[in-house]
Amino acid sequence: MIFSSLEFLEFFLPITLLVYFLVPPAWRNFVLFAVSIVFYGWGEPTLVFLMLVTLIGDWIFGYFCGKYRETDKKKAKLWLVISCVFNLGILGFFKYYNFFADNISLLFGRYILAELDITLPIGISFYTFQAMSYVIDVYRGDAEHSKRFSFFGTYVALFPQLIAGPIVRYKDVADQLVSREHSVSKFASGVRRFVCGLAKKTILADTAGEVWKSIIAIPDAERGALTAWLGIIMFSFQIYFDFSAYSDMAIGLGRMIGFEFCENFNYPYMAKSITDFWRRWHMSLSTWFRDYVYIPLGGNRCKPLRHVFNIFAVWFLTGMWHGANWCFILWGVYYGTVLLLEKYVWGKALAKAPAALQHLYSLILILFGWFIFESPNIASPAGYAASLFNSPAPLDGYEALRNCVLIMIMCIAATPYPAALWKKLLDRGGKAARCLELVLILLGIVVSLAFITASDYSPFLYTNF
């Protein structure tokens, strides 16, 4: 089930909110845990058992890490290691077994490991990292072990952020699991954020995705340069509006039921460098790797050669996290390389360049990164890259002209200026502005539902990870 489906909007969400607010406060976490299990198992009920195994395992591991962290550090560390092996073992088997089996067979020229018919559990990378962060934080003393399994289960399985984040830290929501604020203004704020995300997904992301699909279907040799550039620009808009829409909807849903989740995006296409971009894009994943991999490896407080290793290790793992595909690994190595070049080669010169040049530099490198990311195999990026420099094709001008208004709208929507302008209008407009806001929210719902009804099933891109 996805947030932008009619079954979620017309059935699951209204019933969930109704039951949640009707039961006594002491029962609300249990209700959330139960409906989250239903939400997760809607399409593939058998995969619920795998998530429950992860939840039970990590709750037990967290208990022992908390029990021994002050009295017997070795035992606490042993339980932490068991937790990491347990989580990464499950993730590795379901997500990477066939990838490794294929590559081992290619390496030796014969079948060593048989491929298995494995269904990739939706959102496994997200909930695994969230559960792991809990055990690590308990071991470090940054969080206390949850005495109630229903609280821990709610933290990991909470349906707003279960499938595609943000990756929430237990210490950030521990108090909210015990007691959280509910008010009309907070609920209304959640509805606004949710509808904003819904409109982003259905109107902007899916529309950009349709253009991208039509362009990627053109053979590389026949694709004109202008059309090729249009395609990768459209995919860049699609993945941003799609993923940030999910985060908006997750944050909005969380707010409706009293939770405050961390922000996941901060207008990444406004970045002035690739370093800046990764401070703005998928921030909960970036900080996860920073806190649990990069800093434990030594971060940047080490010799340059060690720092190079740390960066490549983190970005290799970041690429792997996204999927069992050499293109994701290449994408991670690509960004690791650019970040190192900014650190040691041209970062100082870039900082002195005009802001417009910094933005242009960042956007070009981001675009190149996206066609590596989206490529189905390791040979595809070269073919698409070559088409960026093809001769003009007969339909180049038509494609660009047909989509110029859409591009302009998306360029504006990807900046902070509409939100800042709207805030200023609300601050100065009084009741009239509030009425206009209500009208726009209702209009956003109606138009989004019209797009959902008229279009094919379109899941969020990051639910595949």
Active-site annotation holds for 359: no
Return the axis-axis angle of helices 47-68 and 73-108, rounded to nearest 10°: 140
Q: What DSSP character marks residue 262?
A: P
Return the axis-axis angle of helices 206-216 and 225-256, rounded to nearest 10°: 150
User: Are the CB atoms for 258 and 182 separated by under 8 Å?
Assistant: yes
Number of helical (H) and strand (E) elements in the chain, helices listed first? 23, 0
Query: Using only C-alpha atoms, what is the Rg of the chain?
Result: 23
Whose CA is closest to 395, among 210, 163, 215, 233?
Answer: 215
Buried b (16+ CB within 10 A) or exposed e, 186-204: bbeebbbbbbbbbbbbbbb
Task: Tell me the DSSP string of 307-341.
Answer: HHHHHHHHHHHHHHHH-SSHHHHHHHHHHHHHHHH
Q: 145, 282, 307, 322: which is the annotated catalytic residue?
A: 322
Would you call 366 exposed, middle or buried from its count of C-beta atoms within 10 A (0-12, 13-18, 19+)?
Answer: buried
Task: Tell me the DSSP string of 382-447.
Answer: HHHHHHTTSPPPTTHHHHHHHTHHHHHHHHHHTSSHHHHHHHHHHHHHHHHHHHHHHHHHHHHHHH
Please say whether the dihedral angle defined by the alpha carbons of residues 55, 56, 61 and 67, taken in this order, is positive or negative.
Answer: positive
User: Are the CB atoms for 31 and 23 separated by under 8 Å?
Assistant: yes
**What are the residue numbers of the active site?**
322
